[in-house]
Amino acid sequence: MFRTFPREKKEYIEICSRLKLQFSISLELSFASLHFIILLVSVISLLWLENPTQQKHYTFHIDPFLRVTLTQIISSFTTQHHHPVSDFTFGSNDYLKKESDMDGDLQKSLSLRLSRRGDRSNQNPQAKDFEVGLFSLGRIPQDYPMKIVWKKGFVRLILVAGILWMLLILIALLFHIWSCQTSVSFLSAMCNKDSKVYTMLDTMGFVSKPHRCLIPLSNDPDKIIIPTGRTPNEIVKNLSYFTEDEVPHNGSQSSPLFGGHQSWKQRDESFKLKSNMKVHCGFIQGGGADMDPIDIKYVEKCKFVVASGIFDGYDVPQQPSNISHRSKEIFCFLMVVDEVSLKFIRENVTVREDNAGGKWVGIWRLVLLKNPPYDEPRRNGKVPKILTHRLFPQAQYSIWIDGKMELIVDPLLILERYLWRGKLTFAIAQHKHHRSIYEEADSNKRRKRYARPLIDLHMKIYYYEGMKPWSSSKKTVSDVPEGAIIIREHTAMNNLFSCLWFNEVHLFTPRDQLSFGYVAYRLGDSFKFFMFPNCEYNSLFVLHPHTREHSSPIEWVKQLDQLKNSNLKETRGGLGLFTSYPGNLDSVVLPNVTRTSKAG
């Protein structure tokens, strides 16, 4: 068993060499390591004197391996730097013999200690608790170097694993940000800007902030002059709506739809402008979206409206800021919610009730819509967004903002800037990245905003009906709006546009940004609107994240076959995509899409 001694001796020498190196780093002089070892040996000699009365020869109990190791260290330094070592001895001179006698002394010493191990354990039970170290008084176990190696190795393993894990997390987060900016379709499809991870990165400053620019707003809301009367209706003078559904007689029993069973012929006729028009515009009897009588009575007095909506519990009301006292007196701040959202809001914020039974969250009056008209929450949210004039028929002006937005500009200043100053009646923001509906459709497919084959079918219908990709030759700034804000006067033409826009959302996909440009194209120059820069849109609001990520099973559909005989298909919306179209869509080839923005 003594054949292992040379290896153990080398390990002890290696350990002491590391100790010497660690101390030498902290000293400035070139001989600092030698001086430290000399000082250390002197201190040990004073602490563990075997015969303190002797003045010339100090001895102390130290492990033989360590004795020889320290001797070799000092000898190596004195040889290099010419320092005498005659003043230092470790015990008797027997330990300073030649290398050939060293192993014999070590074997004798260790054999003697091994033979006395049992006696020492019986005589002194506390010896097991001694402090193990390089210069300890007790014995050092044979496996002590291996224990040190294992201990240090385990600590290093934990540290390296922790560092690697943190690097992997950092790489994943950076990849998530990059995927939202890359032009690679496959990678950009993984970006979800509504996710909590993206929101956290945005809060930490890793995501670039939206571009904002100064808006030429008036200085004082109290000095704004509100126009008297209404903008005259020049083309469409009288507009009425279908209130009863014409259920098709095809042998199947179908309940009334909120948007009605509009035929392809009725749809085509609705784009032909006349002085008196009757169109589908939601709110078919028995179709759902029923307002509480208390709220119906309250909104009758609302002439100026700031409207918003929360459905399926994805947000909580964000309180507007910088609102003047005059605007608080003039405007009704109406938050349309469904029953799921009302319950969620009650659980997260304070909802107070007035004497009439109205529910309030800060400045917002909650307006409850019972019996959601659609299966898809996103489609339900289009009811108050697009059909604001139907929900609040007495309103003359309205400003729609999405539920996740915090309004930071006085609404009177908004109306003055975007409507009254230019004598306009409809204003909406330009999309940040897209101008063509086909590019927007491609983005929706990549980001899984709705079933991809249904988006393609939707676009094929528009392309078949003459809707070309946007180009600079068009009169409009863009075909794609930023739908989070809509500013309008409720004129007959604007109300007609809103009805036709909603009918497209009802018939096809709930992605209203795909339908806006098409309806504007069909109405031509008769519908005038102001599409202002996206940087101004970013200056009107503060965007807050959704409380949770929105997801619907239909968004993951890749093939039409997946919708057959499944519960993925909507039952009350988008039925135009499953109705026989009066045209040959098989020959339609959609235009190639060139991404104009990596982030789009």
If phi > 0 it is left, if psi is from -120 to 50 it is alpha, else beta; for residue 312 that is: left
Rounded average pLDDT over 45-51? 41
User: Is 335 in contact with 402 (CB distance < 8 Å)?
Assistant: no
pTM of the entire structure? 0.69
User: What does 65-101 look like in DSSP terms, one character per residue?
Assistant: HHHHHHHHHHHHHHHHHT---TT---SSGGGGS-HHH
pLDDT > 70? residue 478 = yes
Residue type at position 159: L
Closest CA to 335 of 368, 358, 357, 312: 368
Residue pLDDT, tens place only, 356-397: 999 999 999 999 999 999 999 999 999 999 999 999 999 999
Residue type at position 40: L
Torsion angle, CA of 212/407/505/509, rounded to 10 degrees? Answer: 60
Closest CA to 365 of 297, 312, 288: 297
Tokens linked to 357: 């039974």
Rounded average pLDDT over 95-121? 47
User: Is 363 in contact with 332 (CB distance < 8 Å)?
Assistant: no
Q: What band does 560 get if pLDDT is binned at 50, 70 and 90?
A: confident
Q: Which pLDDT value is given to residue 139? A: 54
The residue with greater pLDDT, 44 or 335, is 335
Q: Strand, coil or helix: what is 291?
A: strand
Rounded average pLDDT over 507-514? 97
Mode of pairing for the β-strands spanning 276-279 and 426-430: unpaired
Tokens linked to 221: 């809301």
User: Is 5 in contact with 103 (CB distance < 8 Å)?
Assistant: yes
CA distances from 271 to 167, 263, 267, 509 (A): 58, 13, 7, 19
pLDDT > 80? residue 144 = no
| C-alpha to C-alpha distance for 46 and 206, rounded to whole angstroms | 60
Percentage of the chain beyond pLDDT 70 is: 67
Q: What's the farthest any 2 CA atoms get from each other in the chain? A: 125
Residue type at position 567: N
Per the listing, tokens 């969620």 go with: 344
Residue pLDDT, tens place only, 279-307: 999 999 999 999 999 999 999 999 999 99
| C-alpha to C-alpha distance for 576 and 582, rounded to whole angstroms | 11
Tokens linked to 299: 């909104």
User: Is 299 in contact with 334 (CB distance < 8 Å)?
Assistant: yes
Tokens linked to 260: 């009605």
Q: Which pLDDT value is given to residue 141? A: 60
Q: What is the C-alpha end-to-end distance of the chain, expressed in Å?
A: 73
The residue with greater pLDDT, 19 or 543, is 543
| C-alpha to C-alpha distance for 310 and 292, rounded to whole angstroms | 16
